[in-house]
Structure 1
Amino acid sequence: MATGAPTKGKTINDLFEQMKPAIAQAIPKHLTPDRLLRIATTSIRTNPKLKVCSPESLLGAVMQCAQLGLEPSILGHAYLIPYKNKGVDECQFQIGYKGLIELARRTGQISSIMAQAVHQNDEFEYEYGINEKLKHVPADGDRGAVVKYYSYAKFKDGGYSFMVMSRQDIVIHRDKFSKAKNFGPWVDHFDEMAKKTVLKSLMKYMPISVEFQRAVDQDETTKYFDSSAENMSEIVDVTDWKDVTEETTETTVDPNQGELPF
């Protein structure tokens, strides 16, 4: 766990100020270090459970936001998720549905990309194979319950690709791979997380750059900030994935446990 600087006795503002030079070197032009850290601070104030997370994991998640140019806010670009990791309160970085779309568009290879929910009363047809087809006509009035999700992408060379998953497929995937299925975005923003899931499934088959895939691979990882690392994609994910189907306990604020002050 190499952070490049001690965290004992530091406030959140101290730690953010300390890492600002590293953020300035990594952040894309459409963001500034001050804006990103201000948004991150707001996220922490909104969710006090983040204040008891290890400083190394919290700073690591913020740096991942910086390097990918995604804002950790309710806009759905990225999330800072507190959870128990091997009994320790950690902060996990998650890319949101809109964040995935933003990263895909930046590749310059895609002309259109989207994910949609299919309701019970919608007209929906799809077929894989040599004669692929995808048709979705939303119903007027009461569309009924959501039964499927699909994503599609059109490429600038004229090609296209799509992926369809049932709502049950989404739930099974969530239960198998998410460390935070009972709280956070999966509870507060299920629809967006479902769209993200079907979009990520599609991206596995899309002809997109290695750099883009490295960015997507950082989704749902816990990494400790290291000021000497040039890219957070090089940092080892410390998430204990072996018990992902068993460990679903959300981090709680223990009154006897220290938390990072502002």
Structure 2
Amino acid sequence: MAAPAKATDQKELGKALANKAAASNGQGKTIAQLFDEMKPAIAQAIPKHLTPERLLRIATTSIRTNPKLKVCTPESLLGAVMQCAQLGLEPSILGHAYLVPYRNKKKDAAGKDLGWVDEAQFQIGYKGYIELARRTGHVSSIVAQAVHEKDLFEYEYGIDEKLRHVPADGDRGPVTKYYAYAKFKDGGYSFMVMSKRDIELHRDKFSKAKTYGPWVDHFDEMAKKTVLKALMKYMPISVEFQKAVSMDETTKREVSDDMSEVIDVTDWSEAQVEEAGEERDPDTGFPTNSPPEDEVTFE
């Protein structure tokens, strides 16, 4: 059995893998085959609580059950999965992280526009933020909650801050607000409250994936993530945590031993459909005809 690659070789291994996928576009290779080639790099990066086999199995399931991910470039999928590995977050319905398909602009080394391409973006879910915050060792408790119209909810900022939430019994009515609070091991605490309208305005301003993906399928979770991110601006967080946050909502076309240092190639301009004769979803720009789940290849 061959010895595993040394940690110092991980960056070169990752770059070679990404370059190979980009050069050939993974021609004729299944998701499982590409991920199998990636396993040595994953094994060196992944925390002890998660195994490469489990992470890649979950990622494969996410891709096979989302038609839009099936047409994303292999290098962007590898980059997104590697970010999951380094942060120890599972890309699944548990809300730790998401692989989000969208239309991105691609340019060559000289900056020449090469048109639009389908790529996967890595996004941290609200439960992922909670998990990362707990790992810092500074937080004893951190929570994000929704407030409904019939709940008893009182809060006040200032010198005498207070926060009180008593959920109503039975029908609680529609959601009106979201809040997050954190208790620190030194005895301090902090909280943030945002109205549902504030959340929607934030989504409309900062997300180009507001008509599909997590904002449509998991609005409540994304709203909690938004208020958590707002709260974290006032929390004592480590350099490692800041690096983790910097990886949220990014697209990477390389695999490295430190994914936070890989250039984010996300283009936030509005996607346009330029291909002729290809039926695509009017909202997302993705092909409406995707390959069967058991025949997914990058070709």
Q: Report the TM range for the smaller structure's normalisation.
A: over 0.9
> Which of 263, 267, 278 pairs up with 1:236?
263
Q: Note if 1:31 corresponds to 2:50.
A: yes
The AA in structure 1 aligned to 2:16 is G
Aligned residues: 257
- Tell me how far 1:205 sits from its aligned partner: 1.2
Q: How does 1:214-253 map to 2 (within 5 A)?
A: 214-226=243-255, 229-241=256-268, 243=269, 249-253=283-287
User: CA shift at 1:225, angstroms?
Assistant: 2.5
For the pair 1:132 / 2:166, whether they are aligned, the reply is no
Superposed, 1:109-128 pairs within 5 Å as 109-128=138-157
Alignment of 1:1-262 (within 5 A): 3-5=15-17, 6-7=20-21, 8=24, 9=27, 10-86=29-105, 87-226=116-255, 229-241=256-268, 243=269, 249-253=283-287, 261=297
Indicate the SS of the match to 1:175: helix
Residues 41 and 129 of structure 1, relative CA distance in 2, 3 Å threshold: same
> CA 1:255–1:245 in 2, change beyond 3 Å: closer, same or farther?
closer
CA 1:256 to 1:196, structure 2 compared with 1: closer, same or farther past 3 Å? closer
Contact 2:125 2:225 in 1 (8 A): yes
SS of aligned partner of 1:168: helix
- Counterpart amino acid of residue 252 in structure 1: F
Work out the CA distance in 1 between the residues paired with 2:150 and 2:163.
Answer: 16
- Any gaps of 5 or more consecutive residues in structure 2? 1-13, 106-115, 274-281
Work out whether residues 175 and 245 of structure 1, in 8 Å CA contact, stay in contact via their aligned partners in 2: no
Cα contact 1:93–1:222 (8 A) shared by 2: yes
| CA distance in structure 2 between the aligned counterparts of 1:18 and 1:245, rounded to whole angstroms | 32
Q: Conserved in 1, the CA contact under 8 Å of 2:121 and 2:251?
A: yes
Percent identity among equivalent residues? 75
| CA distance in 2 between partners of 1:76 and 1:27 (Å) | 18
Provide runs of 4+ in structure 1 moved above 4 Å.
244-249, 254-257
**What is the Cα deviation at residue 14 of structure 1?**
2.0
How big is each residue's C-alpha offset from its partner over 1:96-154, in whole Å with a ceiling of 9 and x where there is no partner?
A: 11111111111111000001111111111111111111111112222111110000000
| Conservation of the 8 A alpha-carbon contact between 1:177 and 1:244 | no
Return the TM-score normalized by structure 1: 0.92
Query: 1:77–1:96: 8 Å Cα contact kept in structure 2?
Result: yes
Alpha-carbon offset, residue 50 of structure 1: 1.0
Cα distance, 1:96–1:146 mapped onto 2, change above 3 Å: same
Report the Cα offset of residue 251 of structure 1: 4.4
CA contact (8 A) 1:123 1:136 kept: yes
Instruction: Report SS of the residue matched to 2:251.
Output: coil
Unaligned segments of structure 1, at least 5 residues? none
Q: Over residues 217-255 of structure 1, what are the superposed CA-to-partner deviations in whole Å (9 max), with x where a residue is unaligned?
A: 2111111133xx3210000111113x2699994242265
Q: Confirm or deny: 8 A CA contact 1:150 1:162 kept in the other structure.
A: yes
Q: In structure 1, the residue corresponding to 2:16 is in which secondary structure?
A: coil
Q: Which amino acid aligns with 2:184?
A: F
Query: Post-superposition shift, 1:11?
Result: 2.6
Range with bigger deviation, 162-171 or 114-123: 114-123
Kindly name which structure, 1 or 2, has the bigger radius of gyration based on alpha carbons: 2
